Amino acid sequence: MRTDPQQFTKLLEKLPQNINVAFIPLVENSKEPNVPKGVKIKECLDEIKLSKDEALSRIQRGLNVGIYAFPQGLCFVDIDRPDLIDISELPESFTVKTRNGGYQIYYQNPGIERNYILKLDGQKIGELRANWQYVVAPGSYVPPDEEKFEGATGLYEVIKDVEIIDLDFEAIRKFIEEEPKTEQKTKPKEKIANHNLVFVNKYDIGLDTILEVDEKLRELLNDLNPGYPSRSEADLATIDRLWYWGFDEHQIADILRTYRSYEKTERDDYLYHTIEKAVASFTGERFSPTKNPQLFIKLCNIQNGSGLNGAYYVNREKNIPSKPWNTWNTWNAENAKNTESYNIKKSLFEPDCVQRARGTPNLDALKLILAWQKKKKVPEDKRAEFIDSFIAAHGLNPTTSEYTELWKIPEFSCDYAEELGLCVGENCKLRLPPADRLILDTESVIIFHSSGEMDVKVAGRRKIIPLKRFFKKVKSESVINTAIFDEIFLECYLLPANPPFSEEEAFRVYQSWLEIADHVKTPVDTESGLEETIIEILTTKRDYYSFDLLKEKKVPPKRGFFVEDGIIYVESGLLKELIEESGVKYQREKLARAAQRILAGKVKRIRIGENSRYFWRFNLQAIQAILRREGDEWEPEVIEDIESSEIAELIPAGGDEGWRI
């Protein structure tokens, strides 16, 4: 057990009588509150609040406890940069050393209702937590992180066991260099007006429109800490709402930097790790026009302003600004027809009536195509994109009610095609024999020899079948297994083969698949491929500079790669960009595993002037050895010095801002 009940007992002995104190349970080995995700402490404090005895018992069992600040209770001066301030400058009171070696000084709150950021010479040194914020109570244990200072043990330990005095606000006023960080009451529209960026989700609904109907999101974007235990918890709640509304990870990062700008959201490592964590833990369904048509129409009317013709849309392919439906006919129809959205699910087999509908400029034709896509399980967002492109391509002008009807259509059937007047009768391919339909609609075939499997994609559906299943033993003879083809047909078209496959027809399909199959004889080593990608990046993508030029702030971190004592330093955000430019998805854990042969250690945080960055470190000798094995000799040409005139060209616009994370 790493907690220390004696430390907590010291706090209990020093707590003033009749003071408003609230202890809360924290997650084991963590600072996070032990409450359901997204729930505000304000909403459940009475249910989760611990008595003094319950809190002590919790620490005795190896669990953590938090203690809250209130205007008529306690407040805390939380110092997280002990290297920048001598705490003797602050009024002496009960003091706890934190897990990373910082300090939390306990005071009686004389009635302060705001929380403040504390700075010294322009650098943040900590916070005054006075209202609806908590600190980890002494005796708790949280493993120290990379920001730890000398002597950090992870234990919250009492280092000044003295009385808790009233806070003299004048004594800390000199450290307050900005407005209070909470209790902001800026109206949403006023705040939005101060931002020049426009954010639009995948349904082309603007963020400002969504804020008209989502009070919770509006509160989160207007207040850095609206009643959550910490800013990090509020960040997670914000990401959760933005993800629900259909914004992607990159948009969410930009929105957080714009509306929730503070030290952490300026750091790429924190921002993308937090987004990844929130998205991975997202529960429930995201917003969908199909399942929320009334809300969608309401959003459309708000965004359109007049409430007449419905929503605004964005031509993603041409980056044309948003237009209402009644201006679709001004778009370039040929460009719209060539887009990926317009040609969605146009597989090798498509009923003649659906193909006919693609060239028919009316809403009934659009309904039939959407019915086919619905039957083929095309995702809702892709269907929404197709609607945009079809309307643009044919110059249609649907009303709000007509648009709503597009989301209420049934799945495709011949009867529905006939009802819409688009059935082609006896000439329809739906009346082809089942074998011909499978052959026509086969999109790809891969045979994996190592596992003895065939990967078949037919009509947009993928099925992996062991090769041995295609044949069966009948009276000691091997014959084609017709049942497997009946099964594939049913899964692809959602109706049984009529007539069922004969041995001759089944063998004809099997032979056609063998003729077009790609053969894979060895498994693909994806991690080895990632290592090769990194080596290619390190040998071709940027200039090399002496590491001293980085430390002296002569070359920005993302300008190039840096070398010192056989180690190559690459700024983490730059490496992510270069890997994704190469067409590879960036995953930090996968990268660390795949590149372990060429890494020189863990990702390292390096201070550059007043700021810091995270760098990947690669072993130059290991990279050279791998290249030498392939017959290549490589030595980076390292720039050791740089003229002052060149420095000015390298520094990004904005001066020192270009160095921030």
Q: How confident is the model over 393-421, as pLDDT tens digits?
A: 888 888 877 888 888 889 888 888 889 98
Tokens matching residue 492: 């692809």
The Cα–Cα gap between 95 and 108 comes to: 13
In a domain, 286, yes or no: no
CATH number where 274 lies: 1.10.1240
CA distances from 419 to 359, 378, 414, 427 (A): 18, 23, 9, 17
- Among residues 466, 495, 520, the one where a domain terminates is 520
Tokens 């849309």 appear where? Answer: 313
% of the chain with per-residue pLDDT over 90:
24
Residues 564 and 509 in one domain: no
Bond preceding residue 138 cis, omega within 30 of 0:
no
In a domain, 182, yes or no: no
In a domain, 181, yes or no: no
Residues 549 and 463 in one domain: no
Instruction: Tally Cβ neighbours within 10 Å of residue 482.
Output: 18
The Cα–Cα gap between 416 and 410 comes to: 8
Q: In this model, does residue 526 exceed pLDDT 80?
A: no
In a domain, 126, yes or no: yes
- Among residues 173, 204, 236, the one where a domain terminates is 173
Q: CA Rg, the chain, in Å?
A: 32
**Long-range contacts, 457-464 (Cβ 8 Å, 24+):** 458/488, 458/492, 459/347, 459/349, 459/376, 459/492, 459/493, 460/345, 460/347, 460/376, 460/377, 460/378, 461/491, 461/492, 463/488, 463/491
**Long-range contacts, 237-240 (Cβ 8 Å, 24+):** 237/38, 239/274, 239/275, 239/278, 239/279, 240/37, 240/38, 240/278, 240/282
Residues 13 and 147 in one domain: yes
Q: Which residues contact 173 (CB under 8 A, 6 or more apart)?
A: none
Mean pLDDT of 104-111: 92
Buried b (16+ CB within 10 A) or exposed e, 308-324: ebbbbbbbbbeeeebbb
Residues 47 and 108 in one domain: yes
pLDDT (tens digit, 9 = 90+) per residue, 159-212? 999 999 999 988 888 888 644 444 443 333 334 434 445 678 877 788 888 988
In a domain, 287, yes or no: no
3-class secondary structure, 300: helix
How does residue 310 score in pLDDT terms, banded at 50, 70 and 90?
very low
Mean pLDDT of 220-238: 82
Q: In this model, does residue 580 exceed pLDDT 80?
A: yes
- Among residues 520, 545, 579, the one where a domain terminates is 520
% of the chain with per-residue pLDDT over 70:
83
Residues 505 and 495 in one domain: yes
Q: Which residues contact 443 (CB under 8 A, 6 or more apart)?
A: 347, 348, 457, 458, 459, 460
Residues 580 and 644 in one domain: yes
CATH number where 123 lies: 3.30.2250
| Torsion (CA) 12, 14, 16, 19 in degrees, nearest 10 | -40
Strands (E), 459-550: 461-466, 471-474, 477-480, 518-520, 544-546
Q: Which has the higher per-residue pLDDT, 369 or 591?
A: 369
The Cα–Cα gap between 132 and 182 comes to: 10
pLDDT (tens digit, 9 = 90+) per residue, 458-484? 877 888 899 888 988 887 788 999 999
Tokens 């082609």 appear where? Answer: 424
In a domain, 285, yes or no: no
Q: In this model, does residue 562 exceed pLDDT 70?
A: yes
Q: Domain containing 415: what range?
A: 293-430
Q: Which residues contact 198 (CB under 8 A, 6 or more apart)?
A: 206, 207, 208
The Cα–Cα gap between 110 and 165 comes to: 10
In this structure, are strands 103-108 and 567-571 parallel, antiparallel, or unpaired?
unpaired
Of 411, 396, 409, give the one whose Cα is nearest residue 331.
396
Residues 442 and 343 in one domain: no
Q: Which has the higher per-residue pLDDT, 503 or 281?
A: 503
The Cα–Cα gap between 435 and 376 comes to: 19
What was the pLDDT predicted at 657? 43
324 phi/psi in degrees, rounded to 5 = -75, 165
DSSP conformation letters of 583-626: T----HHHHHHHTTTTB-SS-EEEEETTEEEEEEEEEHHHHHHH
Residues 15 and 133 in one domain: yes
What's the distance, CA 550 to chain centroid? 30
The total domain count for the chain is 5
Residues 20 and 147 in one domain: yes
Residues 204 and 215 in one domain: yes
Tokens matching residue 51: 């008595």
* Bridge partners, residue 315, by sequence: 320
Residues 578 and 565 in one domain: yes
In a domain, 481, yes or no: yes
What's the distance, CA 305 to chain centroid? 31
Residues 424 and 442 in one domain: no
What was the pLDDT predicted at 72? 80
CA distances from 318 to 250, 328, 336, 389, 395 (A): 20, 13, 9, 11, 16
Of 15, 248, 220, give the one whose Cα is nearest residue 138.
15
Instruction: Tally Cβ neighbours within 10 Å of residue 619.
Output: 17
In a domain, 467, yes or no: yes
Tokens 């605004």 appear where? Answer: 312
Average pLDDT, the chain: 80
